[in-house]
Amino acid sequence: MLERLRQELSTLMLIPGLSGHEDRVRRHIAACLQVDGIDSRADRLGNLIATFDGDAEAPSVMVFAHMDQLGFIVRKIDDDGLIRVERMGGVPERALASQAVLCCVAEGKDVPGIIMNKAHHATTPDEKYQVVHAPDLMIDTGHGSKAAVQAVGIAIGTPIVYRPHVLPLAGTRVAGTSIDDRAGCTVLLELARKLAKRKSGPTVHLVWSVLEEFNLRGAVVAAQNLDPDIAIQIDLMLATDTPDMADRGDMRLGKGPGISLYSFHGRGTLNGVIPHPSAVRLMEKAAKRAKLNLQRSAQVGVLTDLSYVQLLGEGVVSIDVGFPMRHSHSSLEVCDLSDLAGLTTLLETALADVDKNFPLNRNGPD
C-alpha cells in the first residue's frame, strides 16, 4: 500500500487547488474513482461525494477530507508588472520570502513567479530580523509590465499557490506542498477502494470537501445534504516531536494515526471539537483490533470544518482523526507514509464496526 500511497499523494500534491478553486483536484479524484468503477457526484459548491450504501438500520457515516489549499489572491498588478496579493487562509508570513509560486490562470497556462526578498547586501541591521507583512509582499513573474502580466491571463482575483512540489525524504517521509490535506484525500481514495469491495457495513459517504482553508464551511453543505449520524474528519495532527514543538504534546511522525480529544480556536471563530465518547471508543477499539498505535492530540489553535458539521440537525457524532504532520501551512510540510497506511486501516476497521447497536446517544459509560 505504501508505494500506491506515495504515488497518489505525490500526484495530488502537484495539482494546484486554492480554496474556491478546487476544480482540478476534484476532476482528478473523480477520474481516479471512475477507474475503479466508483461513481461520484459533486454539489454546487464543488464537494465531491461517493456513497457506499449499506445496512439501513445502522447509523450512516460521513468521512471527509478537504481538497483545497491555502495561498493568495491577486489584489493589484502594479505598472511595473509586480503583483500585490491578499492572503487566503492561514499563510505563515515568516515562511514566505523567496518562495516560488504558481499563478493559476488555467490548466496548461499557469504562470510561475517568485515572492521577492530584498537583496541581502542592501538589508539594514533593522530589517534583518523583520518579517514582511503579506500586504507588502510583491510577486515577480518576470514580465516587467502590467500589460505583459495581463496578457498571460493574470488579473485581479487570480489564485496563487506555493509552486507545487514533492520532495521525497529518507525512508517513508515526504516533504512538499499541501500535504494538508492532500494526504487526507489520498487516504479517502484508498478507503474508497476498500469500501467498494466490502461485503457488509453501514452506509458511508466519502466527501472530498471545499473551502476549508477559507471559511471552514464547505463540508457543512455536504453534511446538510447527506444528513449523517456520524462524521469523521481526516486532516493533519500537529506533530510535536521536534524541539520547537516538544511542549505541545506527544504526537510523533511515523508512530501511527491519531485522534483529537480536544481542539479549540478562540480567535474570531470560537469553535472546536470535543469528540463524542462513542466515536472515541470506536477508534480505540479499531486501533486495538488492527494492532495500530493510536496517538492522541489536544490542541488549542487548530480548527477544522468538523466544528461546524457537529452542530447540524440534532447533533452529529463527531471526531477528528488524522496523521502527524510537521511545518503546517509552510511550503515544506512533512508527513510519513506509514501513518497514512495506518490511518487507512484504522478507518476501514472502525467503519466495519458501526452497526445498529452503535450508541449515538450519551447514555453509555464515560
Query: Which parts of this chain interact with Zn ion (CB under 5 A)?
Result: 180-181, 235
How far apart CA 361 and CA 277 sit, in angstroms, is 9
Q: From the CB of 302, what's the least distance to Zn ion, in Å?
A: 9
Q: In this structure, what DSSP letter does residue 129 have?
A: G
**Nearest distance in Å: CB 235, Zn ion:** 4
Taking the least distance from each CB to Zn ion, the nearer of 54 and 184 is 184
Least distance from Zn ion to the Cβ atom of residue 53, Å: 28
Q: Name the active-site residue from 8, 22, 212, 348.
A: 212
Residues forming beta bridges with residue 72, ordered by sequence position = 87, 160
Q: Which is nearer to Zn ion, 101 or 234 (CB)?
A: 234
Least CB distance to Zn ion at residue 268 (A): 18
- Local structure of 205: helix, strand or coil: strand
Give the C-alpha distances (Å, rounded to integers) separating 83 from 17, 88, 122, 148: 20, 15, 22, 12
Nearest to 127, CA basis, from 137, 117, 135: 117
3-state SS assignment for residue 28 = helix
Alpha carbon distance 317, 305 (integer Å): 14
What nine digits make up the cell of 142? 518576470
The bridge status of strand 111-115 relative to strand 139-140 is: antiparallel
DSSP state of 105: S
Contacts of 248 (CB under 8 A, 6+ apart): 238, 240, 299
Q: How far is the CB of 71 from Zn ion (least distance, A)?
A: 13
State the nearest-atom distance from the C-beta of 79 to Zn ion, in Å.
37
Judged by beta carbon, residue 139 or residue 302, the one nearer Zn ion is 302
The reply to whether 212 belongs to the active site is yes
Question: For the chain, how long is the longest CA-to-CA vector?
Answer: 70
63: Cβ–Cβ under 8 A, 6 or more apart, which residues? Answer: 188, 191, 204, 205, 206, 207, 231, 232, 233, 234, 347, 351
Residue 355 three-state SS: coil
Q: Which is nearer to Zn ion, 60 or 178 (CB)?
A: 178
Q: Which is nearer to Zn ion, 286 or 302 (CB)?
A: 302
Pick between residue 8 and residue 181 the one whose CB is nearest to Zn ion.
Answer: 181
Degrees to nearest 5, angle at CA 51 with 224 and 293:
95
Residues with active-site annotation: 212
